[in-house]
Amino acid sequence: MQYEFGGAVVLLFIAIVLFSAVWIFREYERGVVFFLGRLQKVAGPGFVLIVPGLQKVVRVDLRTVVLEVPTQDVISRDNVSVKVSAVVYFRIVDAEHAVLEVEDYLNATSQLAQTTLRSVLGKHQLDDMLSEREKLNTDIQQALDVQTTSWGIKVSNVEIKQIDLTESMIRAMARQAEAERERRAKVIHAEGELQASEKLAQAATILAREPQAIQLRYLETLTVIGADKNTTVIFPLPMDLVTHFLDRQK
């Protein structure tokens, strides 16, 4: 009975050892293997056999990580306070550096993204934040990528999700937009008046050279006025029209 119990314990121990010694890594995983505390190799994907107690394995996921950056209070270059949130897309390209160079690469990347977001956006004015979002995304991505390269991390993309303004700033921007629309309307009206005056000046110059044209224009105006039968118009008769008759009577 004792031999059977002892054999069962031995078999259980062997099963536990074998279970601890066998590691299987998926295609998107790698294992950083340490032997007595020293880096030995990066293993995977597939089947990997280690020596329990002497070797230790740290599993690393190589897939792209979607990291949401918490909303940050940012003061723009023109001293406007806004709240900005963003999303960072990154992945591990060097499992060895991700384990050796930083204790918690996920938390480290998150903290770095928050400070970089405030730093980059703080160098731009509010109008740039609202109109040049693509450029700001690229600037933040490049700044992050430079600092995470030593961790074996590649930042592939950064997207600013939302920029929230205060109520007073929204009202001020609405007033500014209305003033800009009024300014443009006045400029367009002034340009129209200028073009009309130029055309009128040209027409006056041409009519001044041709007296008969002035008379024809005068008669055409009378025809237009006379089309409305409910209107009585009293107008002086130009002397140029009757001069010919007066000369014949003399």
3-state per-residue secondary structure call for 71-137: EEEEECCCCCEEEEEEEEEEEECCHHHHHHCCCCHHHHHHHHHHHHHHHHHCCCCHHHHHHCHHHHH
* pLDDT value of position 218: 61
Q: Using only C-alpha atoms, what is the Rg of the chain? A: 42
Domains and CATH numbers, the chain: 2-61 (no CATH), 65-170 (3.30.479.30)
Instruction: Confirm if 86 and 143 have CB atoms less than 8 A apart.
Output: no
| Confidence (pLDDT) at 59 | 92
Q: Residue 64 has what pLDDT?
A: 94
Query: CA–CA separation, 121 vs 161, rounded Å?
Result: 13
What parts of the chain have a pLDDT lower than 70?
1-10, 12-15, 17, 167-177, 204, 206-250
**Res 190: pLDDT:** 82
Q: What is the pLDDT of residue 29?
A: 92
Nearest to 120 by CA among 138, 144, 139: 139
Q: Is the pTM of this model over 0.85?
A: no
Q: What is the pLDDT of residues 117-158, one digit of tens each?
A: 999 998 988 888 888 889 999 999 999 999 999 999 999 999
Could you tell me the two tokens for 157? 């993309």
What pLDDT is stored for residue 94 in this prediction? 93
Q: How far apart are CA 56 and CA 33, in angstroms?
A: 6
From the number of C-beta atoms within 10 Å of its C-beta (0-12, 13-18, 19+), residue 159 rates as middle
Report yes or no: 114 and 59 within 8 Å, Cβ to Cβ. no
Give the CA diameter of the chain.
Answer: 161
Q: How far apart are CA 66 and CA 140, in angstroms?
A: 15
The residue whose two tokens read 């280690």 is 50
SS3 178: helix
pLDDT at site 117: 93
Q: Is residue 233 helix, strand or coil?
A: coil
Question: Using CA atoms in the order 41, 45, 51, 53, what is the torsion angle rounded to 10 degrees?
Answer: 80
